[in-house]
């Protein structure tokens, strides 16, 4: 099992996602002789998981069933153990695009945190690229190394435990992109510039407060970065539903079937009509935004080295 290579069957030692529903799933480490408890009953790894295909429906001891999914960075983001605040797919997608990442890219990241963005970056630069990630906290750095090893991506990532603001990333003039998610990113801009390739490298800084953004932009200007811009991604979800509206009474002409725009001689047209002239209503598809939406997560500041 690897987060960058798909495997058909579940093996001993794999990390799999137990899917109970869109709002209910969790990761599980597959081991011979182990059982996992769910609200639908027990899942026995030896008989119910190992050797089965990913995507299979597994029946639990109480008669209910779950799906066992192959792990992806997106699923891991929704299910990972939180050691810090994490980035979600909404921000991760724009970061990957704006940093112009592709297979073979070299990326530097600080800090590693819970590894949500790290897994997405590794999947993007695989199989020939590399991620250099720096984490200030020793225990979080060790846990990140352990997870990358378990997920089969340790050959694509180097984890370093040090203060990036003082010691940098440990590489020079090789990175295609640098990402900063630290309390004082302006103190690491010089080290980011040293890590980036000679010309054209991209940098991104994630900060929740606008004061951090202001100081970071000033530091970027001082170090000669250009094309500096800041984005805020707000996700607004629409609920698509069918609604019924009354047909307006426009007099005698409205009673004529031809005014509906359908050919009465065509049976298929009559059958597909959404008009209900007897009740005086018509059905339409409508998109309505949800009353609540995800609010501010952070500001993303991008720039280019020249």
Q: Is 235 annotated as a binding residue?
A: no
By the 8 A CB rule, do 59 and 34 touch?
Answer: no
| 115 appears as a binding residue in the annotation | yes
The annotation status of 258 as a binding-site residue, yes or no, is no
The pLDDT value given to residue 288: 86
Q: Which residues face 28 on adjacent strands?
A: 16
Nearest to 70 by CA among 34, 27, 38, 31: 27
- Using CB atoms within 10 A of its CB, is residue 121 exposed (0-12), middle (13-18) or buried (19+)? buried
**pLDDT above 70 coverage of the chain, percent:** 91
The mean pLDDT value of the chain amounts to 90
CA distance 17 to 67: 8
Q: 23, 179, 175, 151: which is closest to 94 by C-alpha? A: 179
Spatial neighbors of 123 by CB under 8 A, at least 6 apart, are 3, 4, 72, 73
Confirm whether residue 184 is marked as ligand binding. no
**Res 87: pLDDT:** 95
* Residue 93: band (very low, low, confident or very high) from pLDDT cuts 50, 70, 90: very high
pLDDT of residue 272: 43
Is the pLDDT reported for residue 253 higher than 80?
no
Which of 207-221, 227-241, 268-282 has the least mean pLDDT? 268-282
pLDDT at site 250: 74
> CA-CA distance, 302 to 288, in Å (whole number)?
33
What pLDDT, in 10s, does the model give residues 178-206? 999 999 999 999 999 999 999 999 999 99
pLDDT of 271: 45
Distances (CA, A) of 276 to 101, 201, 232, 267: 53, 61, 45, 16
Annotated binding residue 135: yes
Q: Positive or negative CA dihedral for 27, 53, 4, 73? A: negative
Q: Is 117 annotated as belonging to a binding site?
A: yes
**Residue 80 annotated as binding?**
no
Write down all domains in the chain, each with its CATH number in brackets: 9-71 (3.10.330.20), 76-234+296-305 (3.40.50.150)
pLDDT of 254 above 90 = no
Answer for the pair 124, 105: CB distance below 8 angstroms, yes or no. Answer: yes
pLDDT over 60 at 123, yes or no: yes
Burial of 6 (0-12, 13-18, 19+ CB in 10 A): exposed
Note the pTM of the prediction, 2 decimals. Answer: 0.84
The Cα–Cα gap between 101 and 127 comes to 13
User: Which pLDDT score is estimated for 237?
Assistant: 87
CB-facing half-sphere around the CA of 166: CA atoms within 13 A: 5
Q: Is 128 exposed, middle or buried (0-12, 13-18, 19+ CB in 10 A)?
A: exposed
255-284: pLDDT as tens digits: 555 555 545 555 444 444 455 554 588 888
| pLDDT bracket for residue 208 (50, 70, 90) | very high
């Amino acid at each position: 099992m690897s987060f960058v290579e798909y495997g058909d069957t579940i093996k001993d030692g794999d990390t799999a996602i137990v899917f109970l529903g869109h709002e209910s799933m969790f990761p599980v480490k597959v081991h011979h002789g182990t059982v996992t408890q769910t609200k639908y009953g027990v899942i026995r790894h030896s008989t119910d998981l190992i050797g089965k295909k990913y995507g299979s429906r597994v029946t639990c001891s109480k008669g209910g069933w779950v799906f066992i999914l192959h792990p992806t960075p997106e699923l891991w983001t929704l299910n990972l153990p939180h050691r810090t605040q994490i980035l979600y797919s909404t921000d991760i997608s724009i970061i990957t695009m704006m940093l112009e990442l592709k297979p073979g890219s070299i990326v530097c990241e600080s800090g590693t945190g819970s590894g949500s963005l790290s897994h997405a970056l590794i999947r993007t630069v695989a199989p020939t690229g590399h991620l250099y990630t720096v984490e200030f906290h020793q225990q979080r750095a060790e846990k990140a190394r352990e997870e990358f090893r378990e997920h089969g991506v340790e050959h694509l990532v180097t984890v370093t435990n040090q203060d990036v603001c003082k010691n940098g990333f440990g590489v020079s003039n090789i990175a295609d992109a640098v990402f900063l998610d630290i309390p004082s990113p302006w103190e690491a801009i010089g080290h980011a510039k040293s890590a980036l390739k000679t010309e054209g490298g991209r940098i991104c800084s994630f900060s929740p407060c606008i004061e951090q953004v202001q100081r970071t932009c000033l530091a970027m200007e001082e170090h000669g970065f250009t094309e500096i811009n800041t984005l805020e991604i707000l996700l607004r979800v629409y609920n698509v539903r069918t609604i019924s509206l009354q047909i307006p009474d426009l007099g005698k002409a409205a009673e004529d079937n031809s005014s509906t725009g359908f050919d009465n001689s065509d049976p298929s047209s009559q059958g597909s009509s959404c008009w209900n002239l007897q009740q005086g209503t018509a059905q339409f598809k409508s998109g309505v935004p949800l009353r609540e939406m995800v609010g501010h997560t952070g500001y993303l500041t991008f720039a280019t080295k020249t």
